């Protein structure tokens, strides 16, 4: 569990500024959704929290500690992407344990952590299968399992459901929230889908062109949009 603070963070690529100073304090165990149209800077913001992208100005703090210069692995952060890139030649068990193996954990400890995560994600029957023998939802759960075994303090999701069909997407929203609630892990979740944001978020950051247009609970944003953009974006069908 952890708090995450974004303190006026900015990002420039060459001469182009793509993030114009975003600030918010995320509480322990909170589920924050960053929502906005394609190209508005959601992934860049998330990647700065992950340490995959440098911060041009401002600070990211996790549990009060400035992490701008820390390596991604040293941040206790796990990230789940849209293309979850499971290793096709490895079993589910091997996929889930791979990061721990790289980190040098003993086999027995890896097995125990993988079993625990598999139970949590109802993946026990599939541990010896290869990714191609799984459904899209099951693969998604393996990707989350791979993140969970590392016992991260913060969970980052970048449009993790975009490749799934509509029905599965709705189901996985509930599964992700349920899992995050049970583990109590602070989460930042990126989507371009306003319905997904509204149904999942404790609070949402509505982004447009590198700026946070509004930060608030889904109800606050829905009932009292603070900008024209927020009103139009949240009010339009996805
Ligand atoms: P989103 O995830 O909301 O679709 P991104 O964060 O991917 O948006 O991109 C925000 C802006 O930053 C876009 O204009 C994109 O072209 C630009 N951008 C992203 N990554 C890079 C990069 N590595 N170099 C230059 N420009 C980039
Ligand atoms: Mg993106």
Walk along the chain (238 residues) and give the pLDDT tens digit of each residue.
689 999 999 999 999 999 999 999 999 999 999 999 999 999 999 999 988 899 999 999 999 988 877 666 566 888 887 767 899 999 999 999 998 999 899 999 999 999 999 998 999 999 999 999 999 889 989 999 998 898 889 999 999 888 888 888 999 899 899 999 999 999 999 999 999 999 999 999 999 999 999 999 999 999 999 999 999 998 865 5
Q: Say if CB 38 and CB 192 are below 8 A apart.
A: yes
Q: Is 42 in the pocket of ligand 1 (CB under 6 A)?
A: yes
Which residue, by CA, sits nearest to atom 19 of ligand 1?
44
From 9, 16, 18, give the residue whose CB has the most ligand 1 atoms within 8 Å, as the site to mutate.
Answer: 18
For 200, list phi and psi in degrees, rounded to 5: -105, -30
pLDDT on residue 73: 58
Q: Is the CB of 191 under 6 A from ligand 1?
A: no
Please state, in angstroms and rounded to a whole number, the distance separating the CA atoms of residues 49 and 60.
6
Least Cα distance to 157 among 225, 166, 222, 169 occurs for: 169
Does the CB atom of residue 205 touch ligand 1 within 6 A? Answer: no
> Is 0.90 surpassed by the pTM of this model?
yes
Phi, psi of 185 (to 5 degrees): -85, 130
The pLDDT, as a whole number, for residue 234 is 86
Position 85 scores a pLDDT of 80
Q: Whose CA is nearest to atom 6 of ligand 1?
A: 41
**Span from the CA of 37 to the centroid of ligand 2 (angstroms):** 9
Torsion from C-alpha of 1, 186, 74, 72, nearest 10 degrees: 180
What secondary structure letter does DSSP report for 222? Answer: H
Which atom of ligand 1 lies nearest, measured to the CA of 207? 3
Whether 54 and 8 have beta carbons less than 8 Å apart is answered as: no
Record the tokens describing residue 236, joined without a space.
């339009």
Ligand 1 in reach of 194 Cβ (< 6 A): no
Residue 18 burial by Cβ neighbours in a 10 Å radius (0-12, 13-18, 19+): middle
| 12-20: long-range pairs with CB below 8 Å, 24+ | 12/56, 17/56, 17/210, 18/44, 18/210, 19/44, 19/45, 19/48, 19/56, 19/210, 20/209, 20/210, 20/211
Check: complex ipTM more than 0.90 = yes
In 165-226, where do the E strands start and end? 186-191, 203-208, 211-216
Say what the pLDDT of residue 180 is: 93
**Residue 209 CB less than 6 A away from ligand 1:** no
Gap from CA of 48 to ligand 1 centroid (Å):
12
């Amino acid at each position: 569990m952890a708090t995450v603070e974004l303190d006026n963070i900015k990002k420039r690529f060459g001469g182009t500024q793509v993030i114009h100073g975003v600030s918010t304090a995320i509480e322990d165990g909170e589920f924050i959704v960053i929502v906005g149209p394609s190209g508005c800077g959601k992934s860049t913001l998330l990647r700065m929290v992950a340490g995959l992208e440098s911060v041009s100005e401002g600070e990211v703090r996790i549990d009060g500690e400035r992490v701008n210069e820390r390596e991604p692995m040293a941040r206790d952060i796990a990230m789940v992407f849209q293309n979850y890139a499971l290793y096709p030649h490895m079993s589910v068990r091997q996929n889930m344990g791979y990061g721990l193996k790289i980190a040098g954990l003993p086999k027995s400890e890896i097995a125990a952590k993988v079993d625990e995560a598999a139970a949590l994600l109802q993946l026990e029957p599939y541990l010896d299968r290869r990714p191609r023998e799984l459904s899209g939802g099951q693969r998604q759960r393996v990707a989350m399992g791979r993140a969970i075994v590392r016992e991260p303090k913060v969970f980052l999701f970048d449009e993790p459901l975009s490749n799934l069909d509509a029905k599965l997407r709705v189901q996985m929203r509930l599964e992700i929230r349920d899992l995050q609630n049970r583990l109590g892990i602070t989460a930042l979740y990126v989507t371009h889908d306003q319905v997904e944001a509204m149904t999942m978020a404790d609070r949402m950051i509505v982004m447009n062109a590198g700026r946070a247009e509004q930060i608030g609970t889904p109800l606050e944003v829905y009932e009292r949009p603070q900008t024209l953009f927020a009103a139009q974006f949240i009010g339009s069908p996805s």
